[in-house]
Structures are given as C-alpha cells and as structure tokens.
Amino acid sequence: MRDTEQSQSQPRDAGCRPIVCLHDRSGAADWFAAQVDHLDARVIEPHVALSGETLDEWVSWSAREIEAVGEPVHVLATGIAAHGAVVLAVRHPELVVSLLLGDPADESPSTERDLLGRVTTPTLVIASQPDGGRASSAEPDGGRASSAEPDGGRESVSSAAQALAGGIDNGVFVVIDGAAVPAHRERGASFDEWVTSFTIIAEGLGALGAHRQEEVHV
C-alpha cells in the first residue's frame, strides 16, 4: 500500500492501549519526540545498546519495562530495534498488542527470519521510498502482507522491510513515497496516521479474539 500525500494525524482515543517506543540505544525520547507529542507515546530507554551480543538482555529489559506499564502495549520500533521488537513479540506475545515497525534496518542483530512465521501479533511495517517505487499490501483483514517491488531502475524499498512484511501473517506493509529515512521523523504526520489507524484495528482484532475464547469456554 502506498502513501503519497502527507495528511494531518488524528489524536488517539483516551481508551486505547499505550504505545511504547523502543530504541536500539539511548536517546529514545529525542528519537521519538514527535510520537510522544502527537500519539502520547511512551519511551523506554534501553539498558544496553542493541547488538547481536546484547539481544537477549535488550529483549528481557524491554519486557520488564513493558510489564511495569501494567497492560499490553503497542510496540513501536525503528531501524535495528525493529528486529529486536520482533523477537520480543515472539517471546512475550502476551505483552504486545501490535508491532509498529518503521524502516527496519538491513542488518539484523539476530536470525529472527526463522521467527517470522511464529509472530502472531498484528504487524504494521512502514518503509520510506525516496524514489517512489511500487508496492502492494494486504488490507488489514487480508491476512498477509506482500513485499514492495522495484520500479524499473529506481531504488527499491529496504530489503529488510520487504522480508519482514512478507514473512509475518496478520501484517500490513505501507510505503511512504517521497519520504527520506526515517519516515517517522521525515513524514511524521503520515506515519502517525497509519500508526493510529492500525492500533485501532489491532485492538479490535484482540477484542474479537477474546470474545471468541469466552464463547468457547461458556
């Protein structure tokens, strides 16, 4: 799905689950300043910088901080932290309502590609596309996202974004045309609007799933 126009983001309802932003190193508050302001997002300053050697510690620390929030949250992460967020969602699905992944880094601190098929959390992957390549995506109720395709000789969107979007069920892939990396800062209004819409959908899916479980146990 392509986003070619910048629009004004809408405030989230007070009753929505919190959005928690994860960063790969210190400085999360500055990195996600616009989301803190516009989406009332919270940030978690990591205990350690994220790398292959610190992945387990980074994920465990993030899980403990999210547990302290007191309820499941939407996890927003960009760059290399997007890969760490995938691992978090697989290991602690009870903590994560949805994954909101912006411009995933091409280099991953883990081999989480093997984990993508185990992700049950609704996932939104947003990728910048300065050169306006083509992309397609499943609608929120369509189940599986498809990857972006290169448009002629133009630079294609990040291969990491394509891999994540193509490997996770219940995923939606969005390309923001004309946006430099990172989209959440360069095209914040469009990014935040997609995030807001997707969190509403994810919470609706969660409520539907809980209702079906109640019916089974009646």
Per-residue pLDDT for 84 more than 70? Answer: yes
Q: What DSSP designation does 109 have?
A: S
Looking at residue 113, its pLDDT comes to 64
- The closest of 211, 199, 210 to 96, measured between CA atoms, is 199
pLDDT digits 0-9 by tens, 109-151: 765 667 899 999 999 999 998 864 544 443 433 333 343 333 3
Percentage above 90 pLDDT, the chain: 59
Q: What average pLDDT is seen over the chain?
A: 81
Per-residue pLDDT for 214 more than 70? Answer: no
Looking at residue 153, its pLDDT comes to 32
Cis peptide leading into 104, omega within 30 of 0?
no
Assign 20 a pLDDT band (cuts: 50, 70, 90): very high
Going from the C-alpha of 27 to that of each of 21, 34, 48, 49, the distances in angstroms are 11, 13, 12, 11
Where residue 178 falls (left for φ over 0; alpha for ψ -120 to 50; beta otherwise) is: left
Amino acid at 76: L
Cα distance from N-terminal residue to C-terminal residue, the chain: 40
Per-residue pLDDT for 50 more than 70? Answer: yes
Which of 145-149, 181-185, 202-206, 207-211 shows the lowest per-residue confidence on average (mean pLDDT)? 145-149
Per-residue pLDDT for 171 more than 90? Answer: no
Looking at residue 83, its pLDDT comes to 92
Looking at the DSSP bridge assignments, the partners of residue 20 are: 42, 75
Q: Structural domains in the chain?
A: 14-145+160-217 (3.40.50.1820)
Q: What DSSP designation does 116 have?
A: G
Q: How far apart are CA 196 and CA 175, in angstroms?
A: 16
Distance of CA 44 to the CA centre of its chain: 15
Inter-residue contact 126 to 193 (CB < 8 Å): no
Tokens of 30: 């500055």
Sheet holding 171-177, edge to edge: 2-3, 171-177, 123-129, 96-104, 73-79, 19-22, 42-44
